Structure 1
Amino acid sequence: MTRLLHSLCAGLALALASAAGHAETKTLYVGMNGGNFERTYTQGVFPDFEKANGVKIVVVPGTSSEILAKAIAAKDKPQMHVMFLDDGVMIRAAGMGLCEKLKPTPALADLEPVARLKDDMAAGVDLGMTGIAYNKKLFDEKGWAAPTSWLDLADPKFKDKVVFQSAAVSTFGLHAFLMFNRIKGGDENNVEPGFKAFPDTIGKNVLEYIPNSAKISEMAQTGEAAIFPLTPTAVATLKEKGIPVEYAQPKEGSVVLMVAECVIANNSEPDLAQKLAAYLLSPEAQAKALASGNIAPSNTKTKATTEAGEQKLSAIHNYMKTAVTLDWDVINAKRAEWNSRWNRMIER
């Protein structure tokens, strides 16, 4: 009986020790886009932080709109600790009080100025831009020159060959529409020129309005899609899969499109969440993201680890010279009205 009691006590002690060990491993939940972004960070960036800090990072995948909706629903008791959102959506989130100010760090100080959002409530981790992508195989077959302008989307030779992401739900589509609007004489405060001209120009060429860019891979391979709004990062990812697409920087400028991070206000692990956010802005983490998934660094001190990475870095910095920033305060205030109008007039 004594031996049995000792055995039971020893077993209980081991179980308690094991439970205590598991209790020490904290979990951080990070909301971000799935696909390439999730793979890049879970495989190439998060592991070193997890190991160094004894923490497990779990990705909550979704589009920016979906992640924002989750954050709003759980505002009083956040289920996530850090979230990644497209810059325009992030500005909205910060304005709703969903983010807490990032703590000053050397990494934050070394960011491209455009990557530090208002009052450092969020910061860009992926510096990009929306421009024009095209199906090089199809262009070569037709003898078409590479596009140079947003107005090329309205060229009659591309009738039923333009694939356009819905401006009501896609940042890419919204960017393209607003640049077209600017070319037609409007700005974010006046979208009348764009809405008036779009149906009889670009609209006449659109084969399909898609909710996001997922279908572009398939449509480029089948030859259905000739030209469409997209980012250099997305183009690079498609090219790595053997899909014959190229990026073209419009002469009017591309549109700055960052993926930004913020630490969610009132989360259960504020110090650890801030530590993760700072790490993700560091040159070390961003070099890993560039190498693992073509994520373009926002930290000016990031060094590429390969020649291909250096070329990507050089191209991004070159595109940034003519990239345009939009007034997201105006956009966010008008977005619901625009969405309704877009659905009624453009995608009807």
Structure 2
Amino acid sequence: MTKTPVALASAAAMLAAGAAAAQELNLICSADQAICERLVQEFEASHDMNINMVRLSSGEAYAKVRAEARNPQTDVWWGGTGDPHLQAAADDLTAEYRSPMLEELQPWAVTQAETSEYRTVGVYSGALGWGYNTEIFEEKGIEPPRCWEDLLDSSLQGEVQIADPNSSGTAYTTLATLVQLMGEDEAFEYLKKLDANVSQYTKSGSAPVKSAARGETGLGIVFMHDAVAQAEEGFPIEVVAPCEGTGYEIGSMSLIAGAQNPDAAKVFYDWVLGADVQSVMPEAGSYQIPSNANATAPEAAPDLSELKLIDYDFAEFGSSERRSALLSRWDEEVGGVANN
């Protein structure tokens, strides 16, 4: 049967629509908004593809991916702490992929992939600490804290902000770090004492030090690179690595199982692991250590080799059972945003 011009036009329109749909990529980005936007800008400038990006904290991203498991609306989840990425891998929410870029990555980034059976990979790293507003501390005569124990001092009452570990990977890393440093019961006793000094549990992990930079609070417990970013912008922020030792993150990336655009997702995945791409990130205010061994690390980035880092157990604290248990206990004994 001969097709009419209308039928041919309709078929062509359907093919065009299909081609357009194939060039869409749905991305969750769990880094700072400026970094997320720069990634999208760089990728779209070099690829015939449109990115639909939503910025969510790590815990929020995990919750979204889990809620949409039967009908995934996300193709790639980039950035944010590795623990929820590992939990997503353990829950079969992410897809196995062995990128050809693995051979260019730092050992810690490859180990992250191996731990998850190649369902996630390291994209950057950074250590936990805090940033405090030097002007506020000087004005109020507060002795700058150098150790975790110092954060309990009564002079800091109402001057500390930290995120809620249910929504924030930064705050969960803090929780897991203290458990590994002190023991679980001791860590929760510490957190209950710290609560007396906390003015707000924020949703985003980087929000506390941004608040300190604006003079709204004295100190924010964050990843050190987030504090460095504020100092580099000219705010009176001093960056501290706690004296007893501290944890660190392996910011990660995962492909979502059952994604609508798996081929496009792999293109982005391989691209963002490249040295050239990772070397551009400092221009967007990223002061993490890049995972590609050939990428140029930001000059202002904290030197992890000079810090007292704990032997952070990513496998244990990224497991679904351990992470869920710690978050439940935090809710019961410390409390979240609703209680502050």
- TM range, normalised to the smaller chain? 0.7 to 0.9
CA contact (8 A) 2:176 2:317 kept: no
Match of 1:239 among 207, 231, 245: 231
CA contact (8 A) 1:254 1:319 kept: no
Q: Does 1:111 align with 2:105?
A: yes
How much identity, in percent, do the aligned residues show? Answer: 22
Match of 2:123 among 125, 142, 148: 125
> With structure 1 as the length reference, what TM-score do the two structures score?
0.79
Unaligned runs of 5+ in 1: 1-8
Pair member with larger Rg: 1
Runs of 4 or more, structure 1, over 6 Å off, are 11-19
Provide the residue aligned with 1:4 in structure 2.
none
Rounded to whole Å, the distance in 1 between the matches of 2:177 and 2:62 is: 25
CA contact (8 A) 2:163 2:170 kept: yes
Displacement after TM superposition at 1:277 (Å)? 0.6
Displacement after TM superposition at 1:226 (Å)? 1.9
**Could you list the per-position Cα deviations for residues 319-346 of structure 1 after superposition, in whole angstroms to 9, with x for gaps in the alignment?**
5673542345356313334333323322
**Could you list the per-position Cα deviations for residues 58-84 of structure 1 after superposition, in whole angstroms to 9, with x for gaps in the alignment?**
213322233323323333443222112
Rounded to whole Å, the distance in 2 between the matches of 1:215 and 1:322 is: 23
CA contact (8 A) 2:24 2:51 kept: yes
CA contact (8 A) 1:153 1:228 kept: no
Rounded to whole Å, the distance in 1 between the matches of 2:25 and 2:260 is: 9
Match of 1:261 among 253, 266, 275: 253
Provide the residue aligned with 1:334 in structure 2.
322
Rounded to whole Å, the distance in 2 between the matches of 1:303 and 1:337 is: 38
Q: Does 1:299 align with 2:268?
A: no
Query: Does the C-alpha gap of structure 1 residues 154 and 93 become closer, same or farther in structure 2, counting only changes over 3 Å?
Result: same
Count of residues in correspondence between the two structures: 323
Displacement after TM superposition at 1:282 (Å)? 1.0
Match of 1:195 among 188, 199, 214: 188
Counterpart of 1:196, as a letter, is E
Rounded to whole Å, the distance in 1 between the matches of 2:62 and 2:175 is: 23
Query: Does the C-alpha gap of structure 1 residues 37 and 101 become closer, same or farther in structure 2, counting only changes over 3 Å?
Result: same
- SS of the residue 1:121 aligns to: coil
Query: Does the C-alpha gap of structure 1 residues 341 and 71 become closer, same or farther in structure 2, counting only changes over 3 Å?
Result: closer
Match of 2:94 among 83, 95, 99: 99
Counterpart of 1:108, as a letter, is L
Displacement after TM superposition at 1:91 (Å)? 0.3
Rounded to whole Å, the distance in 2 between the matches of 1:40 and 1:149 is: 35
Query: Does the C-alpha gap of structure 1 residues 319 and 128 become closer, same or farther in structure 2, counting only changes over 3 Å?
Result: farther
Query: Does the C-alpha gap of structure 1 residues 80 and 148 become closer, same or farther in structure 2, counting only changes over 3 Å?
Result: same
- SS of the residue 1:164 aligns to: strand
Q: Does 1:343 align with 2:331?
A: yes
Query: Does the C-alpha gap of structure 1 residues 293 and 91 become closer, same or farther in structure 2, counting only changes over 3 Å?
Result: same
Displacement after TM superposition at 1:280 (Å)? 0.7
Provide the residue aligned with 1:150 in structure 2.
148
Rounded to whole Å, the distance in 2 between the matches of 1:86 and 1:138 is: 30
CA contact (8 A) 2:75 2:260 kept: yes
Rounded to whole Å, the distance in 2 between the matches of 1:168 and 1:79 is: 22
CA contact (8 A) 2:230 2:237 kept: yes
Rounded to whole Å, the distance in 2 between the matches of 1:164 and 1:138 is: 17
Q: Does 1:63 align with 2:60?
A: no
Q: Does 1:288 align with 2:280?
A: yes
